[in-house]
Structures are given as structure tokens and as C-alpha cells.
Structure 1
Amino acid sequence: MSIRPDPTFHATAKLAMAAPVENLAFTLMLSPDGSQPDGIAVVDVDPKSKNFGEIVSSLFMPNKGDEFHHFGWNACSSALSPLTGHAFLERRYLIVPGIRSSRIYVIDVKDPMNMKIHRTIEADEILEKTGYSRPHTIHCGPEGIYVSTLGGGGEDGTDGPPGIFIMDCETFDVLGRYEMDRGAQDKHYDFWWNLPRDYMVSSEWGLPPQFENGIVPEDLLSNKYGHSIHFWDLRGRRNIQTIDLGENHQMALEIRPAHDPAKEYGFCGVVVDTTNLEGAIFTWWRDEDGKFHAKKTVTIPPVPADADDLPELLKGFSAVPPLVTDIDLSLDDKYLYVACWGTGEMHQYDVSDPMAPKLAGKVEIGGIVAKHKHPNGKEFGYGPQMVEISRDGKRVYWTNSLYSTWDDQFYPGERGAAMVMADVGENGGLTLNKDFWVEFPDGYRSHQIRLEGGDCSTDSFCYPSV
């Protein structure tokens, strides 16, 4: 613990945008077949460095079969909340969940060139204290670390619904489950909040039997994956409203609220509309009476394709769906980035008017049929997936793996890990940086990215920007 707030904590998103730029990125490496331990790579992202775009440090775990997913910090700008008792924490540890092992690692990255495992929390402890399994997403809150899960108890994770649990942000002890009244919520995926307004929003993917061994086509076509978003009284820990986006809008995934807490809206990405294979973005908002609403504001059409060029899963459709698998919002709340994993595109939308997003830029790389190459001539396996934005909004990074078994279904054959970066134009627009290409060790795939000092899907801010 320090005697002053961590200098990487910022009261407002505007102040965070003016902070020093990132020089390092932490990127997850996973072994898809479990033959090697998963790890964390530290990537040099300083364009002035001789090691620009290279892995300069790495740490591999002592266990195999974790399948790392959406990791996060032990503490962030939310610690500056006037309700916190933890303002003097430091952004020092990465909390890394294994979605297959249900194990969590606490990694000390104070010296990024010499990362260390600080603590390991085993699946049995999590299950015993919470009834949950398959930890998925980490968010640092003002009074603890929040962890969403995708499974309940039992061997297949269906003994009781999944939810969120809280860890102590200093000892890393598992405290217990978050929900006092979950209402209609029976599946889980992402979550985020508006701290001053005291509400949280969560979303849905599916239960472990629906994703662990790959997508279940019968469940998808009968609309059995998640299609609702849930609104919570954050401190009351109860579901106050659920909005069904329509059962055809399968897999409501990333939740991205406006970073300025004075704004009461946000976005949710939907993987696929089963009636037409479109991807979609919904805008949600709260009205003056406190009621939440949601409206589809972006649709992304599928691309026709010859069945011979498609994986078995898609042959009957003769088209490639965009497969919206990640979205991210710049700190100024101006640009929403949408990863179209199926078609191999990264879209940039101007969301200055959140009810009328406008396409402002696009790059093509990878894709099931398109197979767009990087400007350096190299093959980009799979498609754009986990996306992260620099605090100043000038650089957008992304990797290419979704989830090992889903990778194998949509992109048969090993395609390798990749991480790229695009530069953002002065007035919008994206250009792939031809000099940034990360080479990962053989046998690994790449997933979530975290930036030194915080990023656009890590920190939540407690004060309005001026």
C-alpha cells in the first residue's frame, strides 16, 4: 500500500486521456489443447523502442489446462470513489481467471520484466464459498474485486445459475457471491457499472455445456443462448430490471457503459441474429423516471460465400456472419470499436449520438473466407477478437482467438496467435500499423490485452468530465 493514490488512478476519463501513454501491454497466451501451461506476455508498444512490437518478458503458469480469459487489475480509478476505503491501493496485480480450470492466479507485475505469481486460488475454494465455477471477467470495484462466472456447481456447471463473486482487494480472499436477489438472471457473461449512479449492467452468453466443447448448433438455432441484459441496484445487490433483446439476438456479450458517469447510456454487442445472420449493437439508456430501455442501433450484414469455402458449421447458410465477439469504447465516449471475428473486420463507429452510430472507419484483416493479410504480408489467423484502446484514443490493439473450441469450429486447423495495432486518424478512421506485429511462441493463441496504467475496458470513473 502506498501513502498517496496511485498516479495511474484518475478521477475522470478526461484526465486519464491526458495521462502518459502506455509503453507496455500485457497479453494472455493460452494453449488450446492444454499441452502447455498458459502464460502472460509483456509486449513493448513504445514506437521509439528497438523492441517495438516484441515480447520482452513472459510468465508461464505451473499448471496446464487453465484457458485464460478476461483478466483485470486488482485496483483502478474506481478506488477514488468517495465511498471507497481503499484509495491508497496500487495498480500492481493482474487477476487472471482460467475459464476451464476455474482457477485464479494473482500475478505481481510491479516489475513487468520479472513477473511473479503472488497467489493461486483453486476451484474448490471458489465453489465452496460462492457456488460458482468458470470465472470469466474481472473488474476492480471501489471496495473489492468483482469476478463474473459462467458456471454454477456440479461437474458440468449447471447446478445453480452462474453469477458474480467478490474478492478482497488486499488479501485476495474470496469473500462470497454478490447477488442478494438475481431475479430473472440465470446465465452470465459480462458486467460493468455506473458507480455514482449506483447501478450495474450484466449480459448473457450460455451455460458450460453450451460453450465448453464448442457452439451447439441445435441450441443456437432454437435460440437457447443468452439474449437479455440485466440491470442491478449495485449496492443493494439486486436485479431491478431485465430487458430481453429478442430471442433471435443470440449471445448478448460485452457491456460498455459511457465512461463519463454523468451520461446514462451504454452499448451491448450481439454475436448473431438467427433470423438473418446479422451482428448487432444495442444502445441501452435510463430515462428520467429511472427505467432502462434498449434499442438496436447498428446492424452488420453477413457476407455471401460459396459453401465449399465455409467450415462445416456454416455450409448450410452459404454466408459468413460478422460474429460480433467484442466491442470497446474510447475514453471520450466518441468511438465504439466492433470486432467482426467472422468476416475479418474491425469497425469504428462515431457514437457521439449514441442513438445513431455512424461508421467512421474500418480495416480488414483475417476472416473465415476473406483471409485478409496484414500490411506486412503475413497471414492473420482467425479474425479480430479482443480489442483494447489506448487511453488517449490514438491506438487500437487487438488479438485473434475467441475460445479454443470455437476457434476450431469456425477456423479449422491451427492458425496461430496474433496481435496487431491500428492508428486512429485525427478525425476518425483506422490504419493498420505495418510495423507492429507480435510473434508469439508456437502452440499458443492470444486473447485479452491490458495496457500499462489502465485502458478503456479496465477503469471506471467516479467523477464527471469537465
Structure 2
Amino acid sequence: MSLRPDPTFHASPELAMRAPPEEHAYTLLLSPDGAQPDALAVIDVKPGSPQYGKVVHTVPMTHKGDELHHFGWNACSSALSPLTGHAMLERRYLIIPGMRSSRLYIVDTKPHPTQATLHKVIEPDEVFRKTGYSRPHTIHCGPEGVYVSCLGGGGPDGTEGEPGIFIMDCQTFDVLGRWEIDRGPQDKHYDFWWNLPRDYMVSSEWALPPQFENGLVPEELLGNRYGHRLHFWDLRGRRNVQTIDLGAQHQMALEVRPAHDPIREYGFVGVVVDTTNLEGSIWTWWREDGQFFAEKTVTIAPEPADKDLLPPLLQGFGAVPPLVTDIDLSLDDRFLYVSCWGTGEMRQYDVSDPHSPLLVGSVHLGGIVRRTPHPNGKAFAGGPQMVEISRDGKRVYWTNSLYSTWDDQFYPHGVPAAQVMANAADDGGLSLQEDFWVEFPDGYRAHQIRLEGGDCSTDSFCYPSIRT
């Protein structure tokens, strides 16, 4: 244990932006057919390094069929909380959830990323026995320990009881129990995040396991039975204080991205598809006089397409929906990045005014119909999906796989693992880095990325940035 706070913990977003740039990235690899265990890849991202853009280490998991998903650190800048933090922790361990197996892996990244090893395995029966939850999805390090959101309740199909969040000890990794005291109307789950000093959490909804594990269920989608609500919580009280319905046609409210500066009481959520017109959308939510509000601030239109170029799932529509599957917000709260997995586009919005986002950058890569190649000439299957931003906001990384069964429906020709990086201009604009193309082992797909020392979807901050 360190006698001083970890140097990668930063009191404010502004201080985190000044930190040294990342030299390694961690990327989850999944084996869609279960032929081999899923794995964690360590990638050299230091410009000028002889191994730049290459996998320099791999940590395989112990079982097959886990479907690794949104992983995170045991501790981050939230440890500096003056109320319930653990300031002497290290950002050392990565907690990796197996969404299909309900198994969790703990990877030790010390003494060096290229020497990362498997530290502990938490078996599904411990999760079930202590929480009644299943299908762990997202990890956040927070003031009480490690928070784990789950998409399933109990029983074989995960529908016996509502899904929710459980807490793990951030040092022993023991599963402690459910987080919620009063969940209110919440009956589906997906992402969650918070404003620590303001003491509230926001969570979103995707689906129950029968609605996603074997692929998108068209009847459920067209019946508007996927998630379409935001839930707001008293963080320390662990109770639901307000729920906002975005409208049943706004199917699958996924990633929530609160402003990083805790003085700003707003954030964003991406909605995959509007069932009335196939649009994707971004919503801005905010708090005013103790109440939460939300409004649609960005719409992204579908692209007409020849039926013969579409997968069977979309042929009846004659168009490609953008499919907004991930969003990420730069640490200065200025730029929001939006993954349009269906149309093959990464969009960059200036959200200096969070109620009036402006499109200032765009890169096309992959896509169901476009199939835009990388500038290096290599084919990019799938589309921009999980996106991660460097702390200084200059580099934007992304991969191309969503979820194995959904990949197969929308991209039936396959989604071989790929990871790329774009450079972000100071005042907006994106351009792909031509010499950054990660070659992964055959048979894998690539999902979420974490950056050494923290990134824009990892840390939550306790103190505001200096304003000029």
C-alpha cells in the first residue's frame, strides 16, 4: 500500500489533463464462438516506440465463453473524495466482467503493463449467492468500493427479480452485496455514473437477458419493449429519486456521460434507435432546483440503402440506422464523441453549450453498407464502437465489436478485431492516424479500451477545475 495518493489520482479534470500521456492501452478481446478463452491485450501506444501500435502482452482468461465487457479499475480519482474515499489505494487492478458467464476476473497490472497477470477469479455462484444478480456489465471505481452494474436478476434466464448494482471491496475483491436500498420503478439496467460532490447517480436501460443474449429480438424492438428511461439516484442514500421516460420509441438508452467537472450539473445519454424513423439520438439531461430534466439535442438520420446490400434484419427497412452504441466526453467537457456503429461513422460534437451541440468533426470507417477502408488501405469490418479518449483530449481510440450475437446479425460477414486512433484538433476536427492499426490474434473481436493512468470514461472527480 502506498503512503501517498497514487500519482494517477487527480483532484480535478483540469489536473488530469496535464498528466503525462498514456504509453499503454488495455483492450478486451472476445472469442465469439467460444473456441478459446477471452483475453486482455496490452498495446504499446507510445509514439516513436519500436512496438508502437502492437500488442505487447496478452492475459488469457481461465474459461471459455465469458464475453468480456465493460471493465474498469479498482481505484481512480474518486478515491480522493473527502467523505468516503480511500486515498492510499493504487490504480493497480483491472476488474473484468464476463457478461455471458457472470464470472469476474481481476488482473494485476503491476509491476508493469507488459507483465500483467491474472490475480483472482470470482465465480458466478458467489455473485448469485451474495447479490441475486447476474450478467455483470459495467465497472466503476467509486467512494464505497468497486460498483458493478448487472443486466440480469436471478434464475437461468436472469429474469427472476430486477437487475441492479452490487459493490465489491476494492482491496480484497470480496462481493459485499446489493447497492440499492430503494430502486423505485427501475426494472432494467445498463450504464451508470455520478456527480460525487452533488451526491447523485444516473443510470440507463438496455434490456433483459432474453432480449439480448441471442441477438436483437425484432418483435421486442418493434414493440418498444427495450429500455427507454433514465433513473436518478441519491448516491449515499442509495435510493431512486426520479425517473424520466424518454418515450417508448427511443429504444435502448445506453451510455451515460455526466460532465466531468462536478460544478456542472448536466450530462448526456445516447439512444440507439427511434423505432418510428430509425434515427439515433443524443439527449442532454440536467438538474435545476433539485429536479432532473432531459431533452433530445441531437438527431442522426438513417442512410437509404439498396436492400441487397443489407443484412436480413434490415432488408425490410431499405435503410441503415446509425445505431448510436457508444458516446464519450472529453475531460474538458467540450467534445462529445458519438459512435454510429451501423453507418460506420465517428462523430465529434462541440458541446460547450450542452443544449445545442454542434457537429465539428467526422470520420467514416467501416459500416454496414459503406464499408469504408482505413487510410492505410485495410478493410475495417463492423463500425466505430467502443470509444476512449486520452486525458489531454488529443487522441481518440476505438474498436469495432458490439456484442457477439449482435455482431453476427448486423455484420454477418464477420467482425475481425480492429483498433484505430484518430487525432483531435484543438478546436474540433478528426483525422485518422495512418500508422496506428492494431493487429490482433486471429479468431478474436475487440471491445472496450482502457488507458494506462486513466481516461475519459474511468475517473470521477471531487473538485472543480479552475475557470478563466
- Once residues 313 and 182 of structure 2 are traced to their aligned partners in structure 1, the CA distance between those partners, rounded to angstroms, is 38
Cα distance per residue 1:246-274 (max 9 Å; x no partner): 00000000000000000000000000000
Letter in 1 for 2:262: P
Moved more, 386-395 or 113-122: 113-122
Q: In structure 2, what is the equivalent of residue 73 of structure 1? A: 73
Please say if 1:276 is aligned against 2:286: no
How far residue 113 of structure 1 moved from its aligned partner, in angstroms, is: 1.2
- Once residues 263 and 24 of structure 1 are traced to their aligned partners in structure 2, the CA distance between those partners, rounded to angstroms, is 31
- Once residues 240 and 260 of structure 2 are traced to their aligned partners in structure 1, the CA distance between those partners, rounded to angstroms, is 22
Q: In structure 1, what is the equivalent of residue 450 of structure 2? A: 450
- Once residues 105 and 428 of structure 1 are traced to their aligned partners in structure 2, the CA distance between those partners, rounded to angstroms, is 38
Look up the SS of the partner of 1:129 in the other structure: helix
- Once residues 85 and 240 of structure 2 are traced to their aligned partners in structure 1, the CA distance between those partners, rounded to angstroms, is 25
Q: In structure 2, what is the equivalent of residue 154 of structure 1? A: 155
- Once residues 341 and 415 of structure 1 are traced to their aligned partners in structure 2, the CA distance between those partners, rounded to angstroms, is 12
Letter in 2 for 1:313: L
Q: In structure 1, what is the equivalent of residue 52 of structure 2? A: 52
How far residue 413 of structure 1 moved from its aligned partner, in angstroms, is: 2.3
Contact conserved, 1:79 with 1:143, CA < 8 A, in 2? no
Letter in 1 for 2:223: S
How far residue 304 of structure 1 moved from its aligned partner, in angstroms, is: 0.1
Please say if 1:10 is aligned against 2:10: yes
Matches within 5 A, 1:146-185: 146-185=147-186
Look up the SS of the partner of 1:459 in the other structure: coil
Contact conserved, 1:266 with 1:284, CA < 8 A, in 2? yes
**4+ aligned runs moved over 4 Å, structure 1:** none
How far residue 345 of structure 1 moved from its aligned partner, in angstroms, is: 0.1
Please say if 1:197 is aligned against 2:205: no
Q: In structure 2, what is the equivalent of residue 84 of structure 1? A: 84
- Once residues 142 and 389 of structure 1 are traced to their aligned partners in structure 2, the CA distance between those partners, rounded to angstroms, is 23
Q: Which runs of no fewer than 5 residues in structure 2 stay unpaired?
A: none
Q: In structure 2, what is the equivalent of residue 43 of structure 1? A: 43
Matches within 5 A, 1:115-154: 115-154=116-155
> TM-score, normalized by length of structure 1?
0.99
- Once residues 211 and 415 of structure 2 are traced to their aligned partners in structure 1, the CA distance between those partners, rounded to angstroms, is 24
- Once residues 101 and 109 of structure 1 are traced to their aligned partners in structure 2, the CA distance between those partners, rounded to angstroms, is 23
Look up the SS of the partner of 2:370 in the other structure: coil
Letter in 2 for 1:89: L
Contact conserved, 1:145 with 1:166, CA < 8 A, in 2? yes
Contact conserved, 1:339 with 1:347, CA < 8 A, in 2? yes
Look up the SS of the partner of 1:409 in the other structure: helix
Q: In structure 1, what is the equivalent of residue 101 of structure 2? A: 101
Superposition CA RMSD, Å: 0.5
How far residue 117 of structure 1 moved from its aligned partner, in angstroms, is: 1.2
Cα distance per residue 1:435-456 (max 9 Å; x no partner): 0000000000000000000000
Q: In structure 2, what is the equivalent of residue 25 of structure 1? A: 25
Q: Which runs of no fewer than 5 residues in structure 1 stay unpaired?
A: none
> TM-score, normalized by length of structure 2?
0.99
- Once residues 160 and 352 of structure 2 are traced to their aligned partners in structure 1, the CA distance between those partners, rounded to angstroms, is 43
- Once residues 268 and 62 of structure 1 are traced to their aligned partners in structure 2, the CA distance between those partners, rounded to angstroms, is 34
Contact conserved, 2:400 with 2:415, CA < 8 A, in 1? no
Letter in 2 for 1:367: G
Contact conserved, 2:134 with 2:163, CA < 8 A, in 1? yes
- Once residues 118 and 317 of structure 1 are traced to their aligned partners in structure 2, the CA distance between those partners, rounded to angstroms, is 48
Q: In structure 1, what is the equivalent of residue 210 of structure 2? A: 209
Q: In structure 1, what is the equivalent of residue 382 of structure 2? A: 382
How far residue 85 of structure 1 moved from its aligned partner, in angstroms, is: 4.3
Letter in 2 for 1:65: G
Look up the SS of the partner of 2:315 in the other structure: helix
Q: In structure 1, what is the equivalent of residue 235 of structure 2? A: 234
Cα distance per residue 1:15-46 (max 9 Å; x no partner): 00000000100000000011110000001111
- Once residues 182 and 445 of structure 2 are traced to their aligned partners in structure 1, the CA distance between those partners, rounded to angstroms, is 38
- Once residues 223 and 143 of structure 2 are traced to their aligned partners in structure 1, the CA distance between those partners, rounded to angstroms, is 40
Look up the SS of the partner of 1:128 in the other structure: helix
Contact conserved, 2:211 with 2:220, CA < 8 A, in 1? yes
Distance change in 2, residues 1:85/1:285 (3 Å): closer
- Once residues 307 and 189 of structure 2 are traced to their aligned partners in structure 1, the CA distance between those partners, rounded to angstroms, is 33
Contact conserved, 2:401 with 2:415, CA < 8 A, in 1? no
How many residues end up aligned between the 2 structures? Answer: 465
Contact conserved, 2:144 with 2:167, CA < 8 A, in 1? no
Cα distance per residue 1:263-302 (max 9 Å; x no partner): 0000000000000000000000000x20000000000000
